[in-house]
Chains A and B, each alone.
Chain A
Amino acid sequence: GQNIDQPTEMTATEGAIVQINCTYQTSGFNGLFWYQQHAGEAPTFLSYNVLDGLEEKGRFSSFLSRSKGYSYLLLKELQMKDSASYLCAVNIWKGGGNKLTFGTGTQLKVEL
C-alpha cells in the first residue's frame, strides 16, 4: 500500500522561513505535488517534483529525494495569508493511469 506522512500542525512567525516535510513509501512513484488548501476551499497547485533536487518558484521551493522517499516544501518570507493546510501528494502510476494520493496534510499557522 501507500504511506504518506506529514506533521499535523506547525506554527511560524510572519517573515520567517518554514520547512514542511513529507515522507512516503509507495510503489509506482511518478512525481510529487504540493498543494495549498484554505479552509472550505479547493486545493491549489504549488509545485511539482519528479527528479531529485530543488525546484524554486518565488517564495516557495520544493525538494525531492527519491532514494529517501522524502520531500519538503520551503516557504520564505512568511505572510499571514500563508496560514493554510499544505498537502503533499504522490502521483502513482497504476493500472495504465496516474492516480494522486494525498498525505495527511500539515496545518500551518502564521503568527505575528
Chain B
Amino acid sequence: GAVVSQHPSRVICKSGTSVKIECRSLDFQATTMFWYRQFPKKSLMLMATSNEGSKATYEQGVEKDKFLINHASLTLSTLTVTSAHPEDSSFYICSAPQGEYEKLFFGSGTQLSVL
C-alpha cells in the first residue's frame, strides 16, 4: 500500500516556541492531505484539509493563525503549531487519500508535549 511518512515522531518544547511537523507521501502524489488531532483514548478530530497550490481549509473552531498549514508540493504538507502552549499538547497525525475508494493512508503521528 501507499506510504505516508511523518516527522518528527515526538517533540518536547517550551511554551511559546513554534513546532513544525512534516508529512510526506513517499510513493504517490497527494493534492490533498488531512491533518487530525487526537487526545488520549479519544477519536481523531479533523483539523484542516491541506490543498496543494491553494489555501488550507480549516474546520470550525480551529485557529488558522495558530496552526499554519503549507502544502508546498504534491508530496509534502507541513503543519506548524505557532507559539505552542501546554493545551496544544496532543497527538497530531496526517493522512492522504490514495487508490481504491480513496482510502486514507496515515502517517505515524507526532506526539507533541509543550512544557
Contacts and interface: CB of A to CB of B under 8 A. Distances in A.
Interface of A: 31, 33, 40-45, 48, 50, 85, 87, 95, 97-105, 107
Interface of B: 1, 32, 34, 36, 41-46, 49, 57, 91, 93, 95, 97, 100-109, 111
A93 to B, nearest CB: 11
Contacts of A98: 97, 102
Chain A contact residues: over half helix, strand or loop, or mixed? strand
B44 A43 contact: yes
Contact of B49 (A31, A50, A97, A104): A97
A85 B44 CA distance: 11
Nearest to A43: B106
Given A40-B109, A42-B108, A45-B104, 12 more contacts: A43-B93, A45-B1, A48-B100, A48-B101, A48-B103, A99-B46, A102-B36, A102-B44, A103-B43, A105-B42, A105-B43, A107-B41
Contact of B34 (A41, A44, A95, A100): A100
A42 B109 contact: yes
Contacts of A99: 34, 46, 49
Given A97-B32, A98-B97, A42 B107 contact: yes
A41 B108 contact: yes
Contacts of B45: 102
